[in-house]
Chain A
Amino acid sequence: MKLFLKIWRQKNSQSKGRIVDYEIDEISPDMSFLEMMDVLNERIIEEDGDPVAFDHDCREGICGSCSMFINGEPHGPDKLITTCQLHMRRFRDGDTIYIEPFRARAFPIIKDLVVDRTAFDRIQQSGGFISINTSGNTLDANTIPIEKENADKAFDAATCIGCGACVASCKNSSAMLFVSAKVSQFSLLPQGKVEATDRVLNMVNQMDDEGFGNCTNTGACHVECPKGISLDYIAKLNREYVKANLKK
């Protein structure tokens, strides 16, 4: 396959970036998108150029590191996958592919396609946990009975890998889907209910402090989420936030 790539290049967070054109051929349709980027970088390095910086780690759709905005969508045109699970057979010979970083004020660009997503870490640190002693005192897993429906919902919420596709796809750069998943995965379980009030208040406050936009319920986040996190969690977050404010 021969492809025409339009890739966002930016030296560092301070510099001004621009789209740079690349032509690449002999790309196998069986390559993953990240392998195609590897091949491109090898060729750039052979020509003494500066390789394109991009995030990747597990390359099996678990870690949420890869963060490219491909042809107008986070993680590319396929649904329920991350960039590392996108394969070149999804494109046609001669296609032009736009490759950009996830764009949001709260996700400043570090270099090229690498963005700083530590805003998510700070939101997690503000309340995305349960305060229990994990050293010793190990209890049986089923000591506390949990309704199947709630257990399933909590598990679904916990599948969020924090990749930031929700922010990248949202026209407002809202992080509401991420925060709603993280709040819900704990608040649905008995162990997480104890700190539910403080958790939702602190996490929403931190989300707002980070400079994410406001949710306007377009639903883009749910459609583009590689784990298919439901908008239901945003409605749940709204309910929990109001309840927490009434308690405080």
Chain B
Amino acid sequence: MKNIFKSSIGRKIAMALSGVFLIVFLTQHFIINITSVFSEDIFNMLSHFMGNNPLVQFILQPILIAGVLFHFVMGFVLEWQNRKARPVTYAMYKGSRNSMFVSRNMIISGIVILSFLVLHFYDFWVPEMDYKYIQVKPEDPNRYYEELIHKFESPIRVSLYCLSFIFLGLHLVHGLSSSTQSLGTNNKYASTIQKISYAFGIGIPLGFCFIALYHFFIHF
């Protein structure tokens, strides 16, 4: 059992598990964010809970950061190993004849998402840490909505966010169905899983785009 994650199958299972974990996080992140469109108070309440609950802050947040780092590091390791497995490339390779573009270019969508996360952390996580642990300001349960709409005032930032969400969608369309395959799901469910992957991969990023654009235009 101890050697399972040293094998190629073990690595892909680890990649799938971390991916599913991040998908779960993404879903709850979306649910919280979409409330900002309907109710400032509910958004503030949920954000305050997430930002101050010790379980979320000191256990789930480190696990999440570890999960993100693991997924990216493992993604790069797998890409490096896979490139090594074909030292001389084909003069002509028609990948489009047998596979989806998104499935062959997960590393590209992944790098864009990683770049987005750097911006996202700079925008929200770093100021949050500064507010709470460096400046140690008194907690204001109503500050979150204002902080959110302030970030979506810039058209450049909103454009960058929306562009990143498109790449997130491309990553999810293959990532979700691929993770279930890696976890050994019987292929009789493949068609349903593929439909769910498309629905999730298009729906969630589209929803995030909507939130960003909504706050941009509503406060234009």
> Could you tell me if A98 and B92 are in contact, using CB atoms closer than 8 angstroms?
yes
User: By the criterion of a CB under 8 Å from any partner CB, how many residues of chain A are at the interface?
Assistant: 51
> Could you tell me if A213 and B184 are in contact, using CB atoms closer than 8 angstroms?
no
Chain A residues with Cβ under 8 A from B181's Cβ?
A: 217, 231, 234-235, 238
A246 to chain B, nearest CB (A): 6
CA distance in complex: A181, B184 (Å):
14
> Could you tell me if A216 and B12 are in contact, using CB atoms closer than 8 angstroms?
yes
Residues 47-68 of B, flagged 1 when their CB comes within 8 A of A and 0 if not, give 0000000000000000000000
B22 to chain A, nearest CB (A): 17
> Could you tell me if A216 and B103 are in contact, using CB atoms closer than 8 angstroms?
yes
Chain A residues with Cβ under 8 A from B95's Cβ?
A: 72, 171, 218, 220
Chain A residues with Cβ under 8 A from B38's Cβ?
A: none
Knowing A205-B7, A213-B82 are in contact, say whether A232-B94 is a contact too (CB < 8 A). no
Chain A residues with Cβ under 8 A from B87's Cβ?
A: 105
8 Å CB contacts to A: which residues of B73-87? 78, 81-82, 84-87
> Could you tell me if A238 and B9 are in contact, using CB atoms closer than 8 angstroms?
yes
A-B contact pairs, 5 of them (CB 8 A): A176-B9, A207-B8, A212-B85, A218-B103, A241-B4
Q: List chain A positions with a Cβ less than 8 A from chain B.
A: 6, 8, 17, 19, 69, 71-73, 77, 98, 100, 103-106, 169, 171-174, 176, 204-205, 207-208, 211-220, 223-224, 230-232, 234-239, 241-242, 245-246, 248
Starting from the known contacts A100-B92, A217-B177, A245-B3, 12 additional A-B residue pairs (CB-CB under 8 Å) come to A69-B90, A71-B92, A171-B86, A174-B8, A217-B103, A218-B98, A218-B99, A218-B100, A235-B181, A237-B9, A238-B181, A241-B9
